[in-house]
Amino acid sequence: MSATAHALELRDLTKRYGQFTAVDAVSLSVQRGAFLTLLGPSGSGKTTILMTIAGFVAPSAGMVLLDGSDITPLPPERRDFGMVFQGYALFPHMTVAENVAFPLRVRGLSRADRDAKVRAALDLVQLDRFADRRPSQLSGGQQQRVALARALVFDPALLLLDEPLSALDKKLRAELQEELKALHRRVGRTFVNVTHDQDEALSLSDQVAILNHGRLIQLGAPEALYEQPRTRFVADFLGKSNFLQGLVQESHLGGLRVQSGATTLVQQAPRALRPVAGSPALLSLRPEKIALLAAGETAENMVEGHIAAWSYLGAGFLLVVRTADLGEIRVTLPSWRAPIAPAEGLAVRLGWSADAAVPVLDDAA
């Protein structure tokens, strides 16, 4: 397949249904060949945005631009984007090859041209051996790969995916995630994927757009979003986090000194995220950034507590530690780093460094 990747931009995209705003002034751009994921809870507007990009839903305001040109007025068939949905909707009476050939037949390609392209597309998803089977003779994962081949066979400008893996069981989903990532690399096209699965978003994407109530909350590379969430919602939705509340005592170049009851927290903070002295602070602290301190060991931040609950996770332990000033703190420890056998009621000291947490805005509803 020839490699012409396209850049996509949404500018103040808005969709209203009566009084209800499903998509609220969303602006973002996707670079040529990038993999963007729209991530958000159910009802956050993901599908509506995708349908607007595809041309099936007309926005109430705003624009969709492809390589800088406004395509908002174009009907779906003039956009020529590939689409894959959750229910793969293959034609049951057609073979795999006929399913994949369908978009080419619609476009009036000759038999010979069709055959070559179908073979290439099936090759791409490693289903060349299954060309003559019917969908009912394939597993769910294989059917979804046929749907991918069908969406890519006509060399679309963009590939739009709406929760393509959500109908599959966990293990198969993880396998197909890896395949989808490899496929993206192989075809070099711009992909826009929709999911409510945070692991999928983190592992697949170059960029993730976090949505809530139709609004874009934060856009960034997976690592940047995970390590520097701007709000409580982002920290909470993408992974798990503890939220520590306190009052800012000092705010300066080195960071923050935050008081929470009798506990003093020191926290690095870039200027933009530094609340002023006297204001409340909310810190997001990931469970894997906290250590159990051995006797005599110190850390920049320390708090005492006792284990209120714990569970074995296979790769490690989850501890719920009850503290006087900071409430319950969740800690995950790889088993090789757990200095004690966890037990309910056990007194422990937790420690973390000044760069472990991030100050976040409190956007909790």
For ligand ADP, the binding residues (CB under 6 A) are 17, 22, 40, 42-48
Q: Where are the beta strands (DSSP E) in 213-300?
A: 215-220, 242-252, 255-260, 263-267, 280-285, 291-292
What separation in angstroms does the CA of 169 have from each of 140, 165, 204? 9, 9, 17
Q: CB of 180: closest distance to Mg ion in angstroms? A: 18
**Residue 124: which of Mg ion, ligand ADP, none does it interact with, CB under 5 to 8 A by kind?**
none
**Residue 44: which of ligand ADP, Mg ion, none does it interact with, CB under 5 to 8 A by kind?**
ligand ADP
d(CA 147, CA 54): 17
Q: CB of 133: closest distance to ligand ADP in angstroms? A: 32
The gap between the terminal CA atoms of the chain, to the nearest Å, is 47
Cα Rg of the chain, angstroms: 25
Q: CB of 62: closest distance to ligand ADP in angstroms? A: 15
d(CA 81, CA 192): 11
Q: CB of 150: closest distance to ligand ADP in angstroms? A: 22
Nearer to ligand ADP by C-beta: 45 or 239? 45
Nearer to ligand ADP by C-beta: 43 or 140? 43
Per-residue binding string, Mg ion, 33-72, x by CB under 5 A, is -------------xx-------------------------
CA 170 to chain centre: 16
**Residue 17: which of ligand ADP, Mg ion, none does it interact with, CB under 5 to 8 A by kind?**
ligand ADP
**Residue 40: which of Mg ion, ligand ADP, none does it interact with, CB under 5 to 8 A by kind?**
ligand ADP
**Residue 312: which of ligand ADP, Mg ion, none does it interact with, CB under 5 to 8 A by kind?**
none
Which residue is associated with the tokens 């978009």? Answer: 103
Q: Please answer whether residues 350 and 321 qualify as being in contact, where contact means their C-beta atoms are separated by less than 8 angstroms.
A: yes
Nearer to Mg ion by C-beta: 15 or 46? 46
Q: H-helix or E-strand containing 317?
A: strand 316-323
Q: H-helix or E-strand containing 48?
A: helix 46-54
d(CA 113, CA 118): 9
Q: Please answer whether residues 108 and 52 qualify as being in contact, where contact means their C-beta atoms are separated by less than 8 angstroms.
A: no
**Count of residues binding Mg ion (CB under 5 A)?**
2
Nearer to ligand ADP by C-beta: 31 or 60? 60
Q: CB of 347: closest distance to ligand ADP in angstroms? A: 45
Q: Is 223 helix (H, G, I), strand (E, B) or coil?
A: helix
Nearer to Mg ion by C-beta: 42 or 110? 42
**Residue 42: which of ligand ADP, Mg ion, none does it interact with, CB under 5 to 8 A by kind?**
ligand ADP
Nearer to ligand ADP by C-beta: 47 or 231? 47
Which residue is associated with the tokens 């935050």? Answer: 258
Q: CB of 44: closest distance to ligand ADP in angstroms? A: 4
Q: Please answer whether residues 167 and 61 qualify as being in contact, where contact means their C-beta atoms are separated by less than 8 angstroms.
A: no
Nearer to Mg ion by C-beta: 46 or 79? 46
